[in-house]
Structure 1
Amino acid sequence: MKKNTLASLIWVRITRFTHQSALLSNDFLKQYDITVAQFDVLNQIGTYQPLSQSELADKITVSAGGISRMLSRLEREGHIKRTIEWKTKWISLTEKGEAKLDEVFEHQLAFQTSLIEDCLTISEQKTLYTLMTKVQRHTEKELNK
């Protein structure tokens, strides 16, 4: 029998939660005709626009091929616009994209918040936030080596 470390079990729990949260969110977001990945992309663009496709790829959890297909779809649907400046493709939201993000953001925020608030006390949430921030900053340092 393989022996798991506590750290590996924590990693498995984080991975499972992320996957299950995405599944629940996709189901929740169906009523807005948007997926979690599309919401994430619109939210990142809305926050940092204009940004390049490579900058966007660094901020989201979609593969390079997946992001190209998603951006093409969002552009066809009129949610984003891409402009080319020399060799860089800049991405920004259209009015329709801004409206979609405005329509969905507070609902998605409340939905995701409820997943945490329904099972953790404020004290537990603060502890988890502190610990996850520490782990995330460590992995960020590892990526930047």
Structure 2
Amino acid sequence: MKNNTLGSLIWLRMMRFTHQSILLSNEFLKEYGLTTAQFDVLLQIQIAQPIMQSELAKKATVTEGGISRMLTRLEQENMITRTKQWKTNYIALTEKGQQLLDNAFDAQIQFQSAFFDDVLSRDEQKQLYALISRVEKNSRN
């Protein structure tokens, strides 16, 4: 570990936090019958609906193969609709899917915000957001 750079230690800490956050969120979202990945996919659909399946796969935190399987399950549960226009699938929320997302959204946001609200001041949160945003933008270059 003595050869690790500060950057690699930051990355490892971020990965551990992300992993722990997902585990805790999955447990929290069980009450709503959702996983963290399903919550993310439903939210991405809500933001951009109707959204092309290929575009959703790029935005979601699920692999392309995983997104197809998840969409099949969500469609079977009447949470989404898939409409094919020529070769393109468009995804939209059903009323049931929208209602589920509405029920879970505020609680999940409060749950996730508590990780930061409990230990960081508002100014520290703003600073952390700005720093993470810079690193994330740089990773796309």
TM superposition score normalised by structure 2: 0.97
Runs of 4 or more, structure 1, over 2 Å off, are none
Percent of aligned pairs with the same amino acid: 57
- What does 1:11-90 align with in structure 2 at a 5 Å threshold? 11-90=11-90
Unpaired segments of 5 or more residues in structure 2? none
- Secondary structure of the corresponding residue to residue 58 of structure 1: helix
Unpaired segments of 5 or more residues in structure 1? none
1:7 CA displacement? 0.4
- How far, CA to CA, are the matches of 1:137 and 1:50 in structure 2? 26
- How far, CA to CA, are the matches of 2:122 and 2:84 in structure 1? 46
Aligned residues: 141
The farther-off stretch of 115-124 and 22-31 is 115-124
- Is the counterpart of residue 5 in structure 1 residue 5 in structure 2? yes
Q: Cα RMSD (Å) of the superposition?
A: 0.9
